[in-house]
Amino acid sequence: MPWVMKRRSDSGPRFQAIYRDPTGRKRSAGTFRSERDARAAARRAESSVESGAWYDRTAGKVTFRNYVEQTWWPSRHLEVSTKAGYRSYLDKHFLPYFGDLPMAKILPSTVQGWVTKAVADGLSPRSVVKYHVMLHSIFKRAVRDRIISFNPCSETELPKVVARRMPTVTPEEFEHLLSAVPARWQPLVLTAIETGLRWGELVALRPRHLDFLRRTLTVEETIVEVSKKTSPTGERMIVKPYPKDDEPRTIRVSQDLLDVLAARIKHLGIDRDHLLFPSTEMAGGNPVSRNTFRTRVWLPALEEAQLGHHVRMHDLRHAHASWLLAGGADLKTVMERMGHSQIQTTQKYLHTLPDADDRALEAFRRTRGRRGT
């Protein structure tokens, strides 16, 4: 219940409006010449507390930098690579632009100014949109903490992201590319195309993840590669006990692939806990770096293969899903094999092979040809 306190001054009596904030702390809603005005102000303040619209006007003076570093950042419970990415976005994009501004002084026009500058500086529309999601979450938390009254990111005009359709690697292109890969790395590339594993899952594989009797491979670890500056442990390669969606998954693999991997295990003398694809051709080696593999193995092979379009190592994962679906595998099975948490993610791989439309048209003709039979 709000109340009024009467005060005396040289110019006559004054009335101070008092209410309690959401924590129960006494607050002043101002000092007035009339008791009536003071009571009205106290009631308005109490009403804003009850409706959830109240915020601490003095707290809004804290700078963006201090709020992020002291409140928002310590509360983040993120996967290692995501946290490293967020730290990079903060240090490179947000703290230099917003860092010294009081939170209450950051307006929608301020955020729009950052977007305009980022685009002018060459940041891609896709990156701007992705970084804006993080910025929005910072101010959303500040609203919840009653630091500010509204989220200045709510109505930002963002650049349009034009989706680029990347060509899917065909089986013929893959065979041509595989022949250009050095022999020591061909087992890794074969595993990638047959399993659709993410890079971190692929380089974390060990013999104990293979079941030669049941012809399965279990994905139960992933290796995250981060900068030493942002690593919580100071290590560049961090082994996580589970892959992306925090659930191990078991998938069937061919006997041909198992034979290739068995030969590799025997050749290197790898025991059950060693990495299958270490950075050096020796048992017990360290994980291979994604960038090292890309520059020393993948790009030279791609140049030699001359496919006519760029292919990333990650595109083998896309090709795996597309080949499965083109071959008639059902969406649910492909979803589980890929480790997707939502079936919509799997659906984007439908009809991505270059001859998919021709096969669809042929199916239409066959069905139409059955009329009257």
- Stronger pLDDT, 363 or 189, i.e. the higher one: 189
Distance of CA 187 to the CA centre of its chain: 29
Residue ranges per structural domain of the chain: 3-54, 61-144, 171-356
Instruction: Tell whether the torsion through CA atoms of 336, 337, 340 and 346 is positive or negative.
Output: negative
- Stronger pLDDT, 93 or 167, i.e. the higher one: 93
Q: Which stretch of 126-130, 216-220, 343-347 has the lowest confidence by average pLDDT?
A: 343-347
Highest mean pLDDT among 15-29, 255-269, 341-355: 255-269
- When pLDDT is cut at 50, 70 and 90, the band that residue 368 belongs to is low
Query: How many CB atoms within 10 Å of residue 266?
Result: 9
- When pLDDT is cut at 50, 70 and 90, the band that residue 207 belongs to is very high
* Buried-exposed string 163-179: b where 16+ CB fall within 10 A, e elsewhere: eeeebbbbeebbebbee
pLDDT at 81 over 80: no
pLDDT at 340 over 90: no
CATH number for domain 171-356, candidates 1.10.443.10, 1.20.1050.10, 2.40.50.100, 1.20.1300.10:
1.10.443.10
First to last CA, the chain: 83
Q: Is 240 helix (H, G, I), strand (E, B) or coil?
A: strand
Q: Is the pTM of this model over 0.85?
A: no
- The helix (run of H) or strand (run of E) holding residue 118 is helix 108-120
Structure tokens at 346: 């799997």
| Separation CA 29–CA 46 (nearest Å) | 9
Residue 200 · residue 243 · CB < 8 Å: yes
**Nearest to 114, CA basis, from 128, 130, 101:** 128
Structure tokens at 370: 């059955």
From start to end of 22-134, where are the E strands? 26-32
Q: What is the pLDDT of residue 364?
A: 60
pLDDT at 12 over 80: no
Say which residues have a Cβ less than 8 Å from residue 17's Cβ, sequence separation at least 6: 2, 4, 28, 29, 30, 31, 32, 38, 39, 40, 41, 42, 45
Distance of CA 98 to the CA centre of its chain: 23
pLDDT at 59 over 60: no
Residue 223 · residue 240 · CB < 8 Å: yes
DSSP 287: B
**Nearest to 135, CA basis, from 176, 94, 81:** 94
CA 113 to each of CA 41, 100, 108, 120: distance values in angstroms, whole numbers, following the listed order: 36, 15, 9, 11
Instruction: Tell whether the torsion through CA atoms of 68, 71, 74 and 80 is positive or negative.
Output: negative
Q: What is the pLDDT of residue 9?
A: 75
Tell me the average pLDDT across 64-92: 84
**Nearest to 305, CA basis, from 157, 115, 178, 153:** 178
- When pLDDT is cut at 50, 70 and 90, the band that residue 53 belongs to is low
Q: What is the pLDDT of residue 354?
A: 67
Looking at this protein, which amino acid is placed at residue 248?
P
Domain 61-144 has CATH 1.10.150: yes
pLDDT in tens, 102-158: 998 999 999 999 999 999 999 999 999 999 999 999 999 998 888 888 899 999 999
Q: Are strands 26-32 and 210-211 parallel, antiparallel or unpaired?
A: unpaired
pLDDT in tens, 266-305: 988 899 999 999 988 777 788 999 999 999 999 999 999 9
| Separation CA 97–CA 85 (nearest Å) | 18
Tell me the average pLDDT across 2-21: 80
Q: What is the pLDDT of residue 184?
A: 93
Tell me the average pLDDT across 323-352: 81
CA 117 to each of CA 123, 125, 135, 288, 360: distance values in angstroms, whole numbers, following the listed order: 9, 12, 15, 37, 46
pLDDT at 76 over 90: no
**Nearest to 321, CA basis, from 309, 305, 332:** 332
Distance of CA 307 to the CA centre of its chain: 30
The chain-wide mean pLDDT, for the chain, equals: 85
pLDDT in tens, 242-270: 766 667 899 999 999 999 999 999 988 89
Tell me the average pLDDT across 193-219: 94
